[in-house]
Amino acid sequence: MQPNTLLDALLDEAGISHAGLAARVNQVGGARGVPLRYEHTAVARWLKGQRPRGQVPDLICEVLAGRLQRPVTLDDIGLGVPGRPSQPRGSTLSGFVERATALWRSDEQQRAHVIGAAAVTGTPAVMPVWEWENPPEDVDVSRGGRYRVSMDDIDMLRAARSHYEQMYRKAGGVPMRSRVVGFLNAEAAPLLRGSYPDQTGRQLHRATGGLVAIAGICAYDSDAHGLAQRYFHQALRLAKASGDQGLGAYVIALLVNQSLFMREHRQAVAFAEAALRTAGRQITPALASDLYAMQAKAYAHLGDGSSALSCIRRAEAAAERILRGREPDETGYVQPGLVNVQVAEALLSLGDLSAAREHAAAAVDNPAHDRGRVHRLAMLSHIELRQGNADRAVVTAVEMARRAMGMESQRLRDRLRAVREHLVRTGGAGTSEAAELIDGALRVPL
């Protein structure tokens, strides 16, 4: 059950409260001879994704149409039913834009039913990837609107994506999500509703897709996994509209990473295969290396050592082909040493501590942005503790904690807590100092 952001957006536009909608629906129903006794709590359930019974969806349309002075359909309020004539309209690119921008608005307004939504699993999780892989393609993405979109507008979106990515790496996703989403609402949404020919539209959808992916990363880093998933699915649809399969493969890599976190290991393998298969030659060496490395982690967790080692070899081979300056901006996260730390995690799951430490140490020896370095140090410290080398692990943990100071990231907090708990259980010289530093980093409010 997904939050109904379309209905939420129309209620806000109409200036009707939850209680006000319930009262008006009761009134219209009574005029039709249908006695109803809805209250604001029922509207809250509808906004969380519950479908009203019987004629109520049509009554809601009637209430909103009267208030807004324009026709309102079931698709407009997010209550279209598969098989009805109105359903295809909502599945168009234009309909997607309206649903996407409604989500951005609800997120910016901190709607609890949107932020707290659980991630979907099974078919609803797989369908966006299947739709990206398969026809139909968008033959023409041109659109007519009041504002004519220019290349300067698209360059602005690209610059914003780069800016917010760098800020996320320094400060974490918790403080950055509201800024990214605010920008999407203020700048990207009007452009998507603007006027542009097909070629400009494809570049616009690509630039917006990259920015929406950053919003998803920030939501993921804030533990809002259902919201993050919806942003990733949006970015994938925007990638399809752009015609850039490489961008789509990058977005799927984000879904693979989330699947690993959610312990959906078979899904992670399948998603990575879809990206590698569908994007083909549009997959850059950096992205291929990350996809293969994440596949290796998934196979290792599934206990398939042979497949994990095969993926490790492919990841390492792809990493050797990376040419800096020839990669798109989105794959800049695949910095030297990233594959090493991914491989270290896979080898750790397979029980090869010696090889895992070798890769983790190589990852730490390579330069990385602040956030990446904290993750690498956390992995190295964890492996050193598993090897029984508590003294070395303490030194690594101290550096990790110092670098994590000031970052607001739920994923980093998870790493810090795990290292602290392992250190305390193991004991040894310097443990108290390392634990105190980690506690200091954890005191940053989220």
Q: Which residues contact 392 (CB under 8 A, 6 or more apart)?
A: 384
What is the overall mean pLDDT for the chain? 92
Residue found by looking up tokens 């549009």 in the block: 282
- Contacts for 152 with CB less than 8 Å, ≥ 6 apart: none
Q: Of the ranges 68-77, 236-245, 257-266, 320-329, which one carries the lowest mean pLDDT score?
A: 68-77
What confidence score (pLDDT) does residue 370 get? 87
Whether the predicted pLDDT of 82 surpasses 70: no
pLDDT attached to residue 76: 87
The confidence band for 75, taking pLDDT boundaries of 50, 70 and 90, is confident
Domain's final residue, options 364, 391, 415: 364
Q: What is the pLDDT of residue 72?
A: 85
Check pLDDT > 80 for residue 444: no
387-425: per-residue pLDDT in tens? 999 889 999 999 999 999 989 999 999 999 999 998 988
Tens digits of per-residue pLDDT, 26-74?
998 888 888 899 999 999 999 998 999 888 998 999 899 888 888 888 8
Poorest-confidence range of 69-83, 185-199, 331-345, 415-429? 69-83
Residue whose pair of structure tokens reads 């390579």 in the numeric block: 366
The stretch 108-114 carries a mean pLDDT of 89
Residue 379 confidence (pLDDT): 96
Residues 294 and 386 in one domain: no
Interatomic CA distance for residues 178 and 318, integer angstroms: 35
256 and 329 co-located in one domain: yes
442 belongs to a structural domain? yes
pLDDT digits (tens, 9 = 90+) for 206-219: 999 999 999 999 99
pLDDT digits (tens, 9 = 90+) for 165-192: 999 999 999 999 999 999 999 999 999 9
Is the domain of 140 the same as that of 159?
Answer: yes
pLDDT value for 91:
56
Residue 84 has pLDDT above 70, yes or no: no
Query: Distance between the two ends of the chain, CA-based, in angstroms?
Result: 27
Which of 321, 349, 364 terminates a domain? The answer is 364
- Examine the fold and report which residue of 26, 47, 74 is the final residue of a domain before the chain moves on: 74
Asked if residue 378 and residue 357 are part of one domain, the reply reads no
Assessment of whether the complete model's pTM goes beyond 0.75: yes
Q: Report whether pLDDT(86) > 70.
A: no
Q: Does residue 149 sit in the same domain as residue 131? A: yes
Name the pLDDT band for 355 (thresholds 50, 70, 90): very high
pLDDT of residue 67: 87
pLDDT of residue 443: 85
**Residue 209 located in a structural domain:** yes
* Predicted pLDDT at 433: 86
Q: How many domains does the chain have?
A: 3
88 in any annotated domain:
no
Task: Name the least confident of 174-188, 300-314, 420-434.
Answer: 420-434
For residue 143, which phi and psi values (nearest 5 degrees)?
Answer: -155, 150
Domain that holds residue 354: 113-364
Of all residues in the chain, the percent with pLDDT exceeding 90 is: 74
Domain shared by 351 and 384, yes or no = no
As given in the structure block, the two tokens for residue 435 are 């634990």
- Name, in order, each residue with C-beta under 8 angstroms of 34's C-beta and a sequence gap of 6 or more: 54, 55, 59
User: 288 with 318, same domain?
Assistant: yes
pLDDT at residue number 87: 40
